[in-house]
Amino acid sequence: MNQKQKSKIEVTLMYLVIVITSIIIFYPLVWTVGMSLNQGTSLYSSSIIPENFSLEHYKWLFSEESDYLLWYKNSLIVSISVAAGSVIITSLVAYAFSRYQFVGKKNALYVFLLLQMFPVMMAMVALYIFLNMIGMLDTLTGLILVYLGGQIPFNAWLVKGYFDTIPRELDEAAKIDGAGHLRVFWSIMLPLAKPILAVVALFNFMMPLFDFLLPSIVLSSQDNYTLAVGLFNFINDRFANNFTRFAAGSILIAVPVATVYLFLQRYLISGLTAGGTKG
C-alpha cells in the first residue's frame, strides 16, 4: 500500500468519524424539535419530523395558563446575576493572586485547587442547612450566592493564568505615570483580559439555565422555580407526562445562550487558549 492510498484511507476514516459524531450530536436535537411540533403529549412518534406539525405547545407556554415565562424570568435573573458577579469577584481575586505577594498565597491557591476535586453532591446537605440558617432557603438570592461561591476557585485559577501572561511592565509604566492599584486594574488589566472574562461570563451564564439538581434542592415554591425545575413538572404525574410541552420549553432555553454566545464569540477562542498557559 503506497502513501497515496494510506492518505485516502486516513481521510475517509476522518470523515467517517465526523459523520458519526455529527449524527450523535444532532439526532437528539432534531428529535426534540420534532417532538415539540408534534400534537398530543406522547413521547413517541412515527417519524422524527411530524407530518401534521403544530405550534400549539409553544403557544401554550406563552399563555396565561402556564408559568413558563415566570420560570424563564427567574432563570435569567439567576444567570445574569451569577455571570456578572462571577466576572467581578473572579477578576478581583485573580488580580490579587497574580500581582501581589502576601502570606498564605501559595497555600490559598492549593486550597482552591483542592476544593475543585470534591463533587458538588458532597456539599448539598451542608448548603441546604446553611441557607436555612440564614433564611435564604427557597429564594433566588440564596441560589445565586451558592452558584457564585462554588465557581470562585475554578474561575480564579483560570483568570489568574491569563493575568500572568500580561507583562508586568505595563503595570509599572502606569504606576510611573501616577496610576494607583485600582486604576491599573480598571484601565489596563480588565481591557486586556476581555477574552478570558468573556469565557467566565458565558460558562457562568449557561450553568444556572441548565442545572436541575441544585435548584430542585434549594427551591420549593413554584413561583421561584427556574426553567429546569419548572420543566420537570411537565413530565411528572401532576402534569400527566406532557413530553411535547417539555420538548418545546427545552428548545426555547437555547435562545438566551445562543444570544450571549454570539455576542461574546470574538473573545471566546483566545480566552480558552490563553487561560491555562501559566499557573
State pLDDT tens for residues 97-127: 988 888 888 888 888 888 777 777 788 888 8
Degrees, nearest 5: CA angle 254-257-262: 120
Maximum alpha-carbon separation in the chain? 73
Q: Which amino acid is at 131?
A: L
Domain 67-274: which CATH number of 3.40.50.300, 3.90.850.10, 1.10.3720.10, 3.10.580.10:
1.10.3720.10
- pTM value? 0.83
Q: Identify the segments of the chain with pLDDT beneath 50.
A: 275-279
C-alpha to C-alpha distance for 116 and 155, rounded to whole angstroms:
11
Tell me what pLDDT residue 168 has. 86
Tell me what pLDDT residue 136 has. 92
Residue 126: which of 137, 114, 111 has the closest Cα?
137
The string over 45-72, giving b where at least 16 C-beta atoms fall within 10 Å of a residue's C-beta and e elsewhere, is beeeebeeeeeebbebbeeeebebeebb
257 in Cβ contact with 206 (< 8 Å): yes
Residue 35 sits at φ, ψ, to 5 deg, of -65, -35
Q: Which amino acid is at 22?
A: S
The domain limits of the chain are 3-55, 67-274
